Structure 1
């Protein structure tokens, strides 16, 4: 499932797009989290923290955050990687549940470099839990990007984090692991090789198309054109509605997509099953310490019949803090 593409030269802004591909709807809502929210690791409470930065995120089942950006322009995106191997639990290492991993990064760090330094230096361990809809263990990797255009892809293939860090890492999809995706990319016409640009839905095909068209976007006249341009790339890498194959969740349909303007703090959301695009500006959300968490209910949006559309910052409503899915004892 999923495609992420980073456009670091979108006029005067840095933009990142993400498709969420999955076999079923996941009760998606947007959440605005203020600074100073208490959190824990979702395992045994050995790691606790207060959020340093406010964030605007997309949540699955209101149990884990899977995409989002914080108020200083660091974004994170969790994507499916079936080869993920987090290793046996090592209690000498700091650990986070997969459900709270992304949120810890957004709560704590101002840049990709800061996040990478901690993940690798602390030898962070991720502990998977079971997806509430499928019952299967989560196997995720994470893409990071920030308003400077920096990027990192973090994968666990042997129990330890493997990190590809640098602005050149603009696209990520799913299987196979990232280094193999890069090898395949160099065989594609227009990207170093002679193989025609593929049109299929396999992760490597989507990787190649996103990389190819991302490098061919025209210089945008303004933010609106920049967002529209990146959405065109994400739609090209999207997967149409299809009968789900439980054995291949990475070949599921696209259920929603986002574009985050990391420079101007704008977060755009488009559902594949609703005709309206919505967005919110972080600067217009109350992310101050003591402010309540706020939720935008997208799971029950009515679409054409008076549904949400356009700037929806005003439509977030106070909500009890989200309860992140914990690892079962």
Structure 2
């Protein structure tokens, strides 16, 4: 479920693309989040911060940042990794809920190197949250990339962050873990081996195709050429709408995809169910402290006849703050409503 691809040398620009593959709609909207917002870890509120950078994020259910870019050119992408294990809460370590994991880095860091240093210095935990709409417990990993072409893949195994940091880590999909993906990809033609390039929707096959094709892109002449080239790669790794395979009722399909120019800071979004392409130029947005959080309601605008297309930087609207899912809210929803007082006997009834 999901593929992320980075092209770090697109004629002086860094271009990144990702597919969001899931078995149901995530209610995704785009949010403009300004500098100066105060946030906490979503766990116990012990880790707090004030956003140093403004960001543009794609959300799930308006509660979780799953993709985005900040005004410094740092970008991040949440993908599924079934092997993720987070371990019980260790009170001696700082923690971030899954809902704000990506947002913390977009708020606080300008580069991948800064973000990696923070992880290594603080030994922070990631805390799982139950999806209140489905009861699913996400198992996720995170890719970070920046305008210098740097990249990092962060996976939590046995409760500890496993970090693969370097410009050469251009592709991330899903299972198995990233170290095993790097071993398996060498069996294919053009990537070190002699087997024909695979064509299935398996994460290992998507990894191979993405790495193969991004390495064969020709240098673009314009930004439009660069964005189109990246779309051609991630569409090649997209998952079609289909009947689930036997024993796999949650087989995923690509529900939307994003291409971002981290150098010029353009963010391009395409829904596969409401297929209009829209884009946002971060330079057209006001990220100043005190400016409001704004939402581009993709659910309504792209569902309308004709929808919206093209540059939508001026179509964001106020809709309150983006309220991230927290552990306390998840626990409250699990517990259900508290029982109220029992009604007393009706007038005239026997006590």
TM-score of the aligned structures, taking structure 1 as reference length: 0.97
Task: Return the offset for 1:304.
Answer: 7.0
How many aligned residue pairs are there? Answer: 329
Q: Note the residue ranges of structure 1 that are not aligned, 5 or more in a row.
A: none
Report the CA distance shift for 1:249/1:32 in structure 2 as closer, same or farther (over 3 A): farther
SS class of match (2:99) = helix
- Tell me, in whole angstroms, the C-alpha distance in 1 between the residues paired with 2:152 and 2:323: 27
CA offset digits 1:136-167 (Å, max 9, x no partner):
21111000000000000000011100000000
**Quick check: 2:85–2:156 contact (8 Å CA) kept in 1?**
yes
Q: Secondary structure at the match of 2:142?
A: strand
The equivalent residue for 2:255 is 255
Greater Cα radius of gyration, structure 1 or 2 = 2
Taking a change above 3 Å as real, the CA distance of residues 192 and 108 of structure 1, as seen in their structure-2 partners, is same
Structure-2 change in CA distance of 1:100 and 1:90 (3 Å): same
Map Cα deviations across residues 30-87 of structure 1 (whole Å, 9 max, x no partner). 0000000111111111011110000001000001010000000000001000100011
What is the 5 A alignment of 1:148-167?
A: 148-167=148-167
Change (3 A) 1:182 1:294: same
Report if aligned partners of 2:244, 2:250 keep a CA contact under 8 Å in 1.
no
Aligned-residue CA RMSD (Å): 1.4
**Inter-partner Cα distance in structure 2 for 1:156 and 1:99:** 15
Residue 169, structure 1, aligned to residue 169, structure 2: yes
Structure 1 residue 300, shift from structure 2 partner: 1.7
Give yes or no for contact 1:21–1:251 (8 Å, CA) kept in 2.
Answer: no
Q: TM-score, normalised by structure 2?
A: 0.91
Q: What secondary structure is seen at the aligned counterpart in 2 of 1:44? A: coil
Distance in 1, matches of 2:124 and 2:244, equals 34
What CA distance in whole angstroms lies between the structure 1 residues aligned with 2:281 and 2:244? 34
Moved more, 302-311 or 26-35: 302-311
Structure 2 unaligned blocks of 5 or more: 332-351
Q: Hey, what does 2:300 align to over in structure 1? A: 300
Contact preservation (8 Å) 2:231, 2:259: yes
SS of equivalent to 1:314: coil
Match of 1:310 in 2: 310
CA offset digits 1:218-243 (Å, max 9, x no partner): 11110000000000000000001123
Q: Secondary structure at the match of 1:220?
A: coil
State the 1:250 CA deviation. Answer: 7.7
Structure 1 residues 250-292: Cα deviation after superposition (integer angstroms, max 9, x where no partner): 8400000001100001000000012310000111001100000
